Amino acid sequence: MSTLAVQQQALLEALFAWPSQAAAQGLRAHASGVGASPQRGLLVYQSNGHMLAERALRAVYPVLMQMLGEASFADLARALWHALPPQRGDIAEWGEALAEFIGASAQLQDVPYLPDVARAEWALHRCASAPDRESAIATLALLTTENPQTLTLELAPGALTLSSAWPLASLLLAHLQGSPSLAELALQLQDCTAQDLVLWRAGYQPRLRQAQPGELTFLHALQGGTALEPALDAAKQLDFSHWLALAVQTGLVLGARRCSPPISEAKP
């Protein structure tokens, strides 16, 4: 490896090394020129990196920032920046590891629901960039004319579910929309109320709500290729009529279509 390549590699390593004194020492060993002192320039680069990390995570994790407070959230962003630096040029792709990072943090063990909050916020972030799908609400007429064993439903972009041992939907909605109230949320946390979450994109807006009884089983079946009737059979608790009206109104369901036949039944 050439001297220039070695110096460039040392610079990249120093930008993410922590503490900064150790980073400067490591970089100085590869600096050219008598009396070269890279520490001041390194601190400028690291400061810019810290600001970039904070901005990137603020955009993705607004609820987490409210829960931790701005100063603690900034510390968390800097710690993640040094522990797990970006691997891609697009900074919007960085930050997925925050949930696991929080879960491993000894300082945050007394707030055990924070990793689930982080997972949900990252899921919302990914929903925003999910590939578009065209709405075809008129195709829901198939539900009245076709055998439900041959039909399935088209779900919105980015549709997915999360399960939590904590009141995850309430944690997010209380901070994003103000409902439920923080007092109601406190009672749910005290009772360790478990909640499942449904996330999707309606238009260009990521959406979320608490899952209805049986909904996760139903959605998992549909996304796994199961036809409508057996998917409903697997989700006995789901009130399908009520669910479908809500799902269409909120953009979770975009239409209906005929299922592709199993490979074993397809004609040659």
When the pLDDT of each residue in the chain is averaged and rounded to a whole number, the result is 84
**pLDDT for 31-46, tens place per residue?**
544 444 555 544 444 5
- Does 104 have pLDDT greater than 50? yes
Long-range contacts, 63-66 (Cβ 8 Å, 24+): 63/117, 63/121, 63/171, 63/172, 63/175, 63/176, 64/98, 64/114, 64/117, 64/118, 64/121, 66/175
Give yes or no: residues 86 and 21 share one domain.
yes
Residues 174 and 180 sit within 8 Å (Cβ to Cβ): yes
Positive/negative CA dihedral, 78, 83, 86, 91: negative
Instruction: Please say which residue of 56, 77, 102 terminates a domain.
Output: 102
Give yes or no: residues 54 and 140 share one domain.
no
The single-letter code of the amino acid at 157 is: P
Instruction: Please say which residue of 55, 76, 102 terminates a domain.
Output: 102
The total domain count for the chain is 2
Mean pLDDT of 101-130: 94
Give yes or no: residues 257 and 204 share one domain.
yes
Give yes or no: residues 145 and 221 share one domain.
yes
Q: Which domain holds residue 8?
A: 1-102
Which of the four pLDDT bands, split at 50, 70 and 90, describes residue 51? confident
Instruction: Please say which residue of 102, 129, 150 terminates a domain.
Output: 102
Of the listed ranges 83-87, 201-205, 244-248, the least confidently predicted one is: 83-87
Which of the four pLDDT bands, split at 50, 70 and 90, describes residue 129? confident
Which of the four pLDDT bands, split at 50, 70 and 90, describes residue 15? very low
Question: pLDDT value at position 14?
Answer: 46
CB atoms within 10 A of CB 202: 16
Residue 69 within a domain = yes
Question: pLDDT value at position 203?
Answer: 84
CB atoms within 10 A of CB 266: 8
Residue 22 within a domain = yes
**pLDDT for 212-229, tens place per residue?**
999 999 999 999 999 999
Residue 189 within a domain = no
Residue 9 within a domain = yes
Give yes or no: residues 1 and 33 share one domain.
yes
Give yes or no: residues 82 and 157 share one domain.
no
What's the predicted TM-score (pTM) here?
0.79
Residue 245 within a domain = yes
